[in-house]
Amino acid sequence: METALPVIFTALMALAMLLYVVLDGYDLGVGILMRGVPDDADKDRMIASIGPFWDANETWLVLGVGLLLVAFPLAHGVILSALYLPVTAMLIGLILRGVAFDFRVKARAAHKPLWNFSFWFGSLMAAFSQGFMLGSYILGFQNDAVGLAFATAIGLALCAGYALLGAGWLVLKAEGELRQRALRWAYRSLWLTGLGIAAVSIATPWVSPRIFEKWFALPQLFFLLPIPVVTALVFAATEGAIRRLRKGHSRRDWVPFAGGIVLFVLAFAGLAYSLFPYLVIDRITIWEAAAATGSLKIILVGAAVTLPMILVYTVYVYRVFWGRSTALSYE
């Protein structure tokens, strides 16, 4: 039990962070895409498409960071101390989004462009900061030129991936010209995301000898080969589906969003394999960072109650508000 509990909490924390990346990723993506829409009515429809969900989506981030704090306090202190500035930037971005979300609909016409810009900029800042933190984390908080360049590249790649999820969400929720615009965004974002995944997959083993060894030593290479192969197949299938949707030869509007989710899940699986069993790369393992066994048992009871409740609420909200979005209303 003493050995298994840290693994269980690592899995729960990973699940919470994956759900956050997918769920909050698409509404951050919608915010990033707002700059490409000239019409205020379409911007309102984009906001309306995420209105019932965006607050709940951020719950998964709180849960993931909370599990890191209570289950792995040693790693929590090291990670957040090293990432103080990008974490601050992410929080500023999320706060800016939240304020702009409510203020833009109540603002006078002259002030509305300011709040639209704030929503876009907050979304972009939060997305880029998350990617930058991930890149810095992968390299063990390496602050030289290579580390900063790698973290910046991950930040840009994550922005493209969130834009893909946001565009896929709008294909599901929008109609008419906005849906067609979302399909164009989805096609471009898919290629940017694919290039980002390829670049990161090549660069990560190159800058980290330990990750290179984990992926390319035999016989692991043969067992891990399905991950890049399936990723390439999903990319090709999604790209073809978007082209057919743009030409009107298909009505499978769910494919771009589903394809984006699968790409994120595959990338997350590869990343999890690369990092395990370290919580602080090459310094602190999950067993070294874990709280006392007695504390973990108590925390596990709380997680066993909290996690299903959040899952049930999330499923309920998506079930109630599923379908094409309507006009934005705060009444």
Tens digits of per-residue pLDDT, 241-300? Answer: 999 988 877 778 889 999 999 999 999 998 888 888 888 888 888 998 888 888 889 888
Give me the half-sphere count of Cα atoms (radius 13 Å) on the Cβ side of residue 98: 13
Burial class (CB in 10 A: 0-12, 13-18, 19+), 223: exposed
Q: What is the DSSP string of 101-139?
A: HHHHHHS-TTTHHHHHHHHHHHHHHHHHHHHHHHHHHHT
Evaluate if residue 8 carries a pLDDT over 80: yes
Q: Is 233 inside a domain boundary?
A: yes
Per-residue confidence (pLDDT) for residue 213, from 0 to 100: 81
Q: Is 325 inside a domain boundary?
A: no
Average pLDDT over residues 46-75: 85
Lowest mean pLDDT among 6-20, 39-53, 125-139: 39-53
Q: Is 247 inside a domain boundary?
A: yes
Evaluate if residue 330 carries a pLDDT over 60: no
* Residue environment code for 95-108, b if the CB has 16+ CB neighbours within 10 A, otherwise e: ebbeebbeebbeee
Taking each helix axis as running N to C, give the angle between helix 40-50 and helix 4-33, from 0 to 180 degrees, rounded to the nearest 10: 160
Count, residues in the chain:
331
Per-residue confidence (pLDDT) for residue 326, from 0 to 100: 58
User: Cβ atoms within 10 A of the Cβ of 317, count?
Assistant: 15
Could you tell me the CATH number of the domain that includes residue 206? Answer: 1.20.1630
Indicate the pTM of the whole model. Answer: 0.90
Q: Is 328 inside a domain boundary?
A: no
- Nearest CA to 141 out of 270, 290, 278, 14 is that of 278
Residue 292 CA to residue 301 CA, distance in Å, equals 15
Q: Is 329 inside a domain boundary?
A: no
Contact between 289 and 64 (Cβ < 8 Å): no
- Nearest CA to 185 out of 157, 163, 161, 169 is that of 163
- CA angle 303-307-313, nearest 5°? 150
Contact between 268 and 18 (Cβ < 8 Å): yes
Tens digits of per-residue pLDDT, 103-131? Answer: 877 777 778 888 889 999 999 999 999 99
Q: Is 184 inside a domain boundary?
A: yes
Residue 21 CA to residue 133 CA, distance in Å, equals 13
pLDDT band at 327 (very low <50, low <70, confident <90, very high): low
Residue 132 CA to residue 151 CA, distance in Å, equals 5
- For the chain, what is the domain count? 1
Contact between 13 and 68 (Cβ < 8 Å): yes
Q: Is 330 inside a domain boundary?
A: no
- The single residue listed with the structure tokens 């602080």 is 280
Q: Computed from CA positions of residues 110, 126, 52, 45, in that sequence, does the dihedral angle turn out positive or negative?
A: positive
Where in the sequence is the domain holding 268, given as residue range(s)?
A: 4-320
Per-residue confidence (pLDDT) for residue 183, from 0 to 100: 93
> Which residues are CB-neighbours of 29 under 8 A, at least 6 positions away?
123, 127, 161, 162, 163, 164, 165, 166, 167, 169, 189
Q: What is the DSSP string of 258-322?
A: HHHHHHHHHHHHHHHHHHTTEEETTTEEHHHH---HHHHHHHHHHHHHHHHHHHHHHHHHHHHT-
Q: Is 326 inside a domain boundary?
A: no
Helix (H, G, I), strand (E, B) or coil at 220: helix
